[in-house]
Amino acid sequence: MAAIAIALTSCKKDPQEDPQTSPYDNLNPQKQSWGFCIDYTGSWCYYCGQWGDAALHNAVNVGNTVGMAVKVSPDPQAVPEALYNSFTSDRPLNGGTPTLAAGDVTDADNSAASYCAQLVSRPCTIGIDARHEVKDGKLSVYVKTKNFEAIPNISDYYMVAYLLEDGLHYEQQGSSSSDPVHDFVLRKASSGNVYYGEQLMTDGAANAEFTHTFTFDVNGYNANNCYAAIVIYKKTTGAVTYSYVNSHWTK
Question: 174-217 pLDDT, tens per residue?
Answer: 999 999 999 999 999 999 999 999 999 999 999 999 999 999 99
Sheet holding 226-235, edge to edge: 99-102, 35-41, 65-71, 185-189, 157-165, 226-235, 242-249
Query: Would you say 240 and 90 are in contact if contact means Cβ atoms under 8 Å apart?
Result: yes
Q: Which of 225, 248, 250, 251 is nearest to 131 (CA)?
A: 250
Report pLDDT digits (tens) over 141-168: 999 999 999 999 999 999 999 999 999 9
- Give the class (CATH, top level) of 30-249: mainly beta
What are the φ/ψ torsions at residue 249 (nearest 5 degrees)? -140, 165
Give the number of C-alpha atoms closer than 13 A to the C-alpha of residue 35, restricted to the C-beta side.
30
Residue spans per domain, the chain = 30-249
- Residue 110 amino acid letter: N
Given pLDDT bands bounded at 50, 70 and 90, which one contains residue 18? low
pLDDT of the residue at 11? 44
Q: Is 184 left (phi over 0), alpha (psi -120 to 50) or beta?
A: left
Q: What is the DSSP letter of 30?
A: -
pLDDT of the residue at 238? 87
Q: Is the pLDDT confidence value at 98 over 60?
A: yes
Given pLDDT bands bounded at 50, 70 and 90, which one contains residue 94? confident
- R_g of the chain computed on alpha carbons: 21
Helix locations, 49-144, DSSP H: 53-60, 81-90, 112-121
Strand, helix or coil for residue 60: helix
Report pLDDT digits (tens) over 24-42: 999 999 999 999 999 999 9
* Element of type H or E holding 6: helix 2-11
Q: Is the pLDDT confidence value at 9 over 70?
A: no
Strand, helix or coil for residue 59: helix
- Whole-number average pLDDT of the chain: 94
Q: Which of 48, 250, 245 is nearest to 57 (CA)?
A: 48
Total number of residues shown for the chain: 251
pTM check: above 0.85: yes
pLDDT of the residue at 20? 80
Q: d(Cα 186, Cα 168) in Å, to the nearest integer? A: 11
